[in-house]
Structure 1
């Protein structure tokens, strides 16, 4: 039987690397890592774990066709290129995403999963116009839906892993503090345990996409582990660590895309209030979501408890 290859973009990043680990552990599919630089240290580590690593640049469609040829499915991730550029003004996520979709069609891929976000400009009715990295992901998502490829999109909340990847949980003389731009103590956020549940959702979709009764293609699936204020997350973190963990409203960064992103998440309670937590459609496909308490126990305590 031929291998069921899944080409994974962003293979050396948080999402892609986690998906590759899950595919390796599950064994149903064979991961193929797509990266611009196969000689990078992270790519070499993937090779050492037995993963096929192939060069492909999301700004060069021809390279992508060659990279993903022979794949049954694709896990697609686009990344912001700073300074952010609007469509037609230079390289951006729309170019990346459309190249991925077009290459997947040309290479005969059967199913495409896209890590996406909803347009904040659309949600806010034009109030927040500068969050281009969200708006452009939605353009790609709509392009994918109209492509003729079987597809699904995963919508992400605030990364719980930002506690350490972006230093969100900072040490203080008495414990720790969580400081978030433009969030008040009562504003709610949608949180995603990326390294656990993006792979779980991806595997569930891959295993069920060709079952017509599941009605998967063309849908967007928020992957949210909890919807709560950062202040509540800080309190739970303090309980897990046995330390005082405070919440602070951080001042604006001065970068409009970032400041508006945080303001929109705060104003619209994390963006995904229309979908229950955990997402019942993903639960029906067999996804067992992790809890905040499990995240704190397994990920935060080993890193921050002293």
Structure 2
């Protein structure tokens, strides 16, 4: 099971091979019994992750996918059969930039002759909430790109990444500080029965992309949520406690308390309302997941399995 150079195999262009989602896509294509050629895009081919992909047989292309570099982006997609596209809002936190760069990828893939596009999008909570939550930019920008992709004329599927398990490491306030009695309270601004579609993205996101590409009929226009398990927050806390042997419980806090906690991390104030709104939308409306795990090449990790594989020595010190 390797990535091939055989010209008879479909050529898959993968954006962000040194990142979580792009790297996971390459991993899964390499594990497939089907043959793929892979052209992987990165801004820095010297990164260890990019070099590791090259050793797997990936054709590594150094390209910055920004509007100012349009000609090079178009060249990078030329001749590809399939494209996996992704943007990173959190790199610059500029919704208009994300929309423009997402549209650029779609336009370049179409011009390059791509016959199928898989895009990493998100739901619009502005629409889901009937206008109650309008400022969740990391979701709204991706949704705009999704609609643009569906109208492109190229068969298009949105594979949304569920809630990253690793978020508890990048936002340590979600675990909370160790209390005087030795416990951890997982202070989140939602009800304990709120359900998240958790995913170990590095390990499993690409599994769903591979599944979509290998279906007998490409599910044009559909949305798939990549998740390992749909789980309540109170169960996440209980399983974290069981898996680590640490006393962890869930604690519901107010949105204002959550924003205060965000401030302790030095995050810009402009983000506080936006991130609190995201949790409010999840609590009020949930994250709709209609697809199952049926037909996946293997079973994705559950939260308990993620807990067992992760290093908690710093988060639960």
Scaled to the shorter chain, the TM-score interval is: 0.7 to 0.9
Q: TM-score, normalised by structure 1?
A: 0.83
Query: How far apart are the structure 1 equivalents of 2:232 and 2:136?
Result: 22
Change (3 A) 1:288 1:228: closer
Provide, for residues 141-187 of structure 1, a one-character-per-residue CA deviation record: whole Å limited to 9, x for no partner.
Answer: 1111111111211122211122334444467363545333x223233
From 110, 115, 122, the equivalent of 1:110 is: 115
Shift in alpha-carbon separation, 1:139–1:204, aligned structure 2, 3 A? same
Conserved in 2, the CA contact under 8 Å of 1:158 and 1:192? yes
Equivalent position to 2:26, from 12, 15, 20: 20
Greater mean deviation of Cα atoms: 168-177 or 256-265: 168-177
Determine helix, strand or coil for the equivalent of 1:78: coil
Contact 2:95 2:138 survives alignment (8 Å): no
Do the aligned partners of residues 139 and 305 (structure 1) sit closer, same or farther apart at CA in structure 2, a change above 3 Å counting?
closer
CA displacement, residues 195-250 of structure 1 (integer Å, 9 cap, x when unaligned): 23311111111122xx3xx3511111122333333222011111112221122336
- Superposed structure 1 runs of 4+ greater than 6 Å apart: 301-306
Pairs within 5 Å for 1:145-224: 145-167=150-172, 168-169=174-175, 172=178, 174=182, 176-180=184-188, 182-208=189-215, 211=216, 214=217, 216-224=219-227
What is the distance in 2 between the residues matched to 1:191 and 1:80?
20
Q: CA deviation at 1:83?
A: 6.1
Please give the secondary structure, in 1, of the residue aligned with 2:208.
Answer: helix
CA contact (8 A) 1:240 1:301 kept: no
Shift of residue 268, structure 1, vs aligned partner = 1.7
Three-state SS of the structure 1 residue aligned to 2:114 is coil
Contact 2:197 2:228 in 1 (8 A): yes
What residue is the counterpart of 2:89 in the other structure?
A: 80
Note the 1:285-304 alignment, pairs <5 A. Answer: 286=297, 288-299=299-310
2:218 and 2:44 map into 1 onto residues whose CA distance is 37
CA apart distance, 1:134: 0.7
- For the 8 Å contact 1:33–1:52, the answer to whether it is kept is yes
Change (3 A) 1:150 1:303: farther
- What is the CA–CA distance in structure 2 between the aligned matches of 1:265 and 1:52, rounded to whole Å? 39
Q: 1:229 aligns with which of 228, 232, 240?
A: 232
CA distance in 1: counterparts of 2:121 and 2:232, whole angstroms: 23
Tell me which protein shows more strand as a share of its residues.
1
What stretches of structure 1 of length at least 5 have no aligned partner?
Answer: none
Structure 1 vs Structure 2 CA RMSD: 2.7
Q: Does 1:272 align with 2:280?
A: no
Provide structure 2 residue ranges, at least 5 long, that are not aligned to the other structure: 1-5, 263-268
Structure 2 distance, partners of 1:115, 1:64, is: 18
Return the TM-score normalized by structure 2. 0.81
1:261 match: 278
Contact persistence 1:61–1:100 (CA under 8 A): no
1:96 corresponds, among 76, 98, 101, to 101
